Amino acid sequence: PNGLTQEAAGQAAARAYELDRRHVFHSWSAQKALTPMVITAAQGCYVWDGAGHRLLDFSSQLVNTNIGHQHPKVIAAIQEQAAKLCTVAPQHANDARSEAARLIAERTPGELNRVFFTNGGAEAVEHAVRMARLHTGRYKVLSRYRSYHGGTETAVNLTGDPRRWPSDHGNAGTVHFFGPFLYRSQFHASTEAEECERALAHLEQTILFEGPQTIAAIVLESIPGTAGIMVPPPGYLAGVRELCDRHGIVFIADEVMAGFGRTGKWFAIEHAPGVVPDLITFAKGVNSGYVPLGGVAISPDIAATFDDRPYPGGLTYSGHPLATAAAVATITAMAEERIVENAAEIGARVLGPGLHELARRHPSIGEVRGTGVFWALELVRDRATREPLAPYGGTSPAMTEVVAAAKEAGLLLFVNFNRLHVVPPCVIGESEAKEGLAILDQVLSLADKHTV
């Protein structure tokens, strides 16, 4: 699709690979053994590798390209903005930034009508935490185990998974608690209602024992993504809101991955009707990653803290014109083309039922979780004991084999430990979803061979 002959594309890919291995330092990886796939082109729900193979992108490139690859309206908006005005310092106003802020404010729940722009998700979390600390005059921040909040210093310390460990210097003020996750319940619960009640009681105890007057914020993914797409039980987010209100704690909903259509709503918090956080962090889907962008949507109360007192933080590229022009085009196209509705519909009618059907036939699937185009398959060696197919924080030959076979068969997955994440673009159609499900069906037979 990029107009090159296969030979030219192949040569370009070979050079990209060689230079990558020589000069590029990759995220979250031991560098030596890496063999990154070169992606040469993309369109809609598909990407092409250096050998010209087409792969169905069930990863959305780290769960970010909600509108699909190479959407013509977003490309045109970036091109038009580039021709008009490429860069504006943060202290000036600019039409792309103003319009993007309006479109985001219109979609956030409640009155979160002010937007601070960042370059990505981790920076959004950093700034949300700073705002909460300055607003409350308190320092501690509570976050859940089994979460991901980003790779920068505060964000990685808040992260509740093994990616925190190597850079955890005991960052003062970070406290972790267990959130609801019935399949691997910390609370010996056997129903969602029990799990919800006990998880809230545990959070309340954590608050009381840490000292409410020391806690600035609770940061929570509305639906934890990277950590396993654990849709919270009904009542949990309302319970968190109530605890925050009772103790004067700022509720930060991290919607970096779950926001902008991924779950079949503009924001995942909308699955808990009436629950309005004080701050929402976003990135990824806001412009589908066509140009890096993230931000924080801010409540009037917290915004007012900085009415007469300067906000001590900023970024050269806060609300960069190319990134915000891409956001305006993305949000507009998502609304016009009913892309959020599509995510909800495909999830409810095709992906959800299709994945549950796979679970009936494949003993390696321990649990299917998700909503919209946001699903995880929890793979296990033993359904009875729920022993995972790869250890927490690690991988296994079985997982590697499944992922490689999927790729070979033309399906790109997002994988974490013992989980296959099914997270295609929100624009996915029924036939593409079924194509991916058929490949999953095929490769899960390999995982089944590793079950007891």
Binding site for ligand PMP (CB under 6 A): 120-122, 125, 148-150, 221, 225-226, 254, 256-257, 283, 294
User: Which of 98, 152 has the CB closer to ligand PMP?
Assistant: 152
User: Which of 121, 425 has the CB closer to ligand PMP?
Assistant: 121
Nearest to 108 by CA among 244, 281, 248: 281
The least distance separating ligand PMP from the CB of residue 193, rounded to whole angstroms, comes to 26
The least distance separating ligand PMP from the CB of residue 292, rounded to whole angstroms, comes to 7
User: Which of 122, 325 has the CB closer to ligand PMP?
Assistant: 122
User: Which of 49, 161 has the CB closer to ligand PMP?
Assistant: 161
The least distance separating ligand PMP from the CB of residue 63, rounded to whole angstroms, comes to 7
Q: How many CA atoms lie within 13 A of 104 on its CB side?
A: 36
User: Which of 122, 399 has the CB closer to ligand PMP?
Assistant: 122
Q: Are strands 215-221 and 250-254 parallel, antiparallel or unpaired?
A: parallel
User: Which of 150, 321 has the CB closer to ligand PMP?
Assistant: 150
Q: Which residue is nearest to ligand PMP (CB)?
A: 121
The least distance separating ligand PMP from the CB of residue 34, rounded to whole angstroms, comes to 19
**74, 178, 381 from 87: Cα distances, Å:** 18, 43, 52
Angle between helices 95-107 and 321-336 (to 10 degrees): 40
The least distance separating ligand PMP from the CB of residue 148, rounded to whole angstroms, comes to 5
How far is the C-alpha of 249 from the C-alpha of 174, rounded, in Å?
14
Beta-carbon count within 10 A of 357 CB: 13
User: Which of 174, 451 has the CB closer to ligand PMP?
Assistant: 174
What is the chain's length?
A: 452
The least distance separating ligand PMP from the CB of residue 125, rounded to whole angstroms, comes to 6
Helix (H, G, I), strand (E, B) or coil at 430: helix
Q: In what order do the strands lie in the sheet with 174-177?
A: 114-118, 294-298, 279-282, 250-254, 215-221, 140-144, 174-177
The least distance separating ligand PMP from the CB of residue 179, rounded to whole angstroms, comes to 13
How far is the C-alpha of 295 from the C-alpha of 291, rounded, in Å?
13
The least distance separating ligand PMP from the CB of residue 242, rounded to whole angstroms, comes to 23
Return the beta strands (E) in 140-290 as ranges. 140-144, 174-177, 215-221, 250-254, 279-282
How far is the C-alpha of 259 from the C-alpha of 222, rounded, in Å?
9
Instruction: Give CA torsion, residues 138, 186, 416, 293, to 10 deg.
Output: -30
User: Which of 289, 354 has the CB closer to ligand PMP?
Assistant: 289
- Which tokens is 353 given? 């039922």
